């Protein structure tokens, strides 16, 4: 659903353009957007499972850590959470881009491309929540990722599973706990 994420991107851009640049953006708090992205990430996993012969992408990737210890997570500051999430998202984009170039199956390649644009949209959503994370972390850069916050996987199915777990876990927890959205929900 590339169009959906594209629409979200356009929406965000318009919101950003329409409003005053100095004033904060209107936060996007609807978790259904994230749920949509999660479902699309799971679709990629399904396509991957149906792929005989690995579909040509057998490389190792650096991916973020996805595990969440609720007790530990609740004690982390929101901003730290945001930084962690943003870093993880950029790592995922890097890995997915590398994988997409190597994949031979066109259906899988388009699914991966979809996931990449979804992650870009997520970055924009996080930005709208005004969590004071670094802005220039969307695009992948060549600096080595922090090893304490990443792990290495050796296959594309694992990469996709990491993506799915990351979105369902840390990203979702951050979005649901964002202060900007808490004010609306209460």
Partner 1 sequence: YHGIFSLPLAFGGYHLAQLLQDETEHIKCFVEGKDLTCFWEERNNLHHQYTFTYSYENKNKMACAVSSLLASNKTIFFCKLPKTPFFTTLDVQVLRDGRMLYTRSLNAENFLFLDPPRNLTVMSSGKEGQLNVSWLPPPLKYMDDSMIYEVRYAVEGSNMGKVEVVKVSTMLVLLGLQSDTRYKVWVRVKPDGVAYKGYWSAWTEPVFGVTPPSDVDPLIVLLVLFIGLILCLLSLTVILSHHKFLLKKLWPDIPTPEHKFPGLFTVYKGDFKEWMSQNNGSMWGRSVHVYTEELPSLLEVLSEVSRTSHDTSQREEEEEKESESSDSGLTDRWRDPPHAHWLMEQLRALQENPESRCQSSLLQSHDTYVTLNQGDNEQQVDDVFEETLPLQTLFTTTGTSSLSTSHSDLGSLQQSSGSGRLSSQSSFEYPNHTWAPKGPGYAYMAVADSGVSMDYRPMSSSRIAELGRHRMYTNDYKNEICPHKWPLSGQYIKSGSESCTGPVW
Site for partner 1 in 105-134 (CB under 8 A): none
Length of the chain: 186
Q: What letter does residue 136 receive in the DSSP assignment?
A: G
**Are 103 and 55 spatial neighbours (Cβ–Cβ below 8 Å)?**
yes
Q: Any contact of residue 1 with partner 1 (CB under 8 A)?
A: no
Site for partner 1 in 25-44 (CB under 8 A): 31, 35, 38-39
> Smaller CB distance to partner 1: residue 18 or 72?
72
Pairing of strands 150-153, 61-64: antiparallel
Site for partner 1 in 147-166 (CB under 8 A): 151-152, 161, 165-166
In DSSP terms, which residues pair with 151 in a beta bridge? 63
Q: Which of 98, 172, 178, 180 binds partner 1 (CB under 8 A)?
A: 172
Comparing C-alpha atoms, which of 147, 7, 25, 134 is closest to residue 83? 134
**Are 54 and 156 spatial neighbours (Cβ–Cβ below 8 Å)?**
yes
Q: What letter does residue 153 receive in the DSSP assignment?
A: E
- In the complex, what is the shortest distance from the CB of residue 101 to partner 1, in angstroms, rounded to a whole number? 26
Q: Which of 60, 67, 97, 104 binds partner 1 (CB under 8 A)?
A: 67
Which residues are at the interface with partner 1 (CB under 8 A)? 31, 35, 38-39, 65-71, 151-152, 161, 165-166, 168-170, 172-173, 176-177
């Amino acid at each position: 659903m590339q169009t959906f994420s594209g629409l979200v991107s356009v929406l965000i851009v318009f919101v950003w353009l329409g409003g005053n640049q100095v004033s904060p953006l209107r936060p996007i708090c609807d978790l259904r957007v994230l749920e949509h992205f999660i479902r699309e990430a799971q679709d990629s996993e399904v396509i991957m499972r149906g792929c005989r012969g690995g579909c040509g992408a057998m490389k190792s990737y650096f991916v973020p850590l996805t595990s969440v210890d609720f007790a530990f997570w609740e004690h982390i500051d929101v901003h730290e959470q945001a930084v962690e999430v943003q870093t993880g998202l950029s790592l995922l984009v890097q890995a997915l881009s590398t994988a997409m170039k190597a994949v031979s199956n066109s259906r899988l390649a388009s699914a991966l491309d979809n996931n990449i644009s979804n992650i870009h949209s997520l970055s924009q959503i996080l930005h709208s929540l005004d969590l004071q994370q670094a802005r220039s972390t969307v695009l992948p850069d060549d600096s080595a990722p922090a090893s304490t916050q990443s792990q290495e996987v050796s296959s594309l199915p694992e990469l996709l599973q990491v993506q799915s777990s990351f979105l369902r876990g840390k990203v979702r927890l951050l979005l649901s706990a964002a202060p900007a959205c808490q004010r609306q929900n209460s």
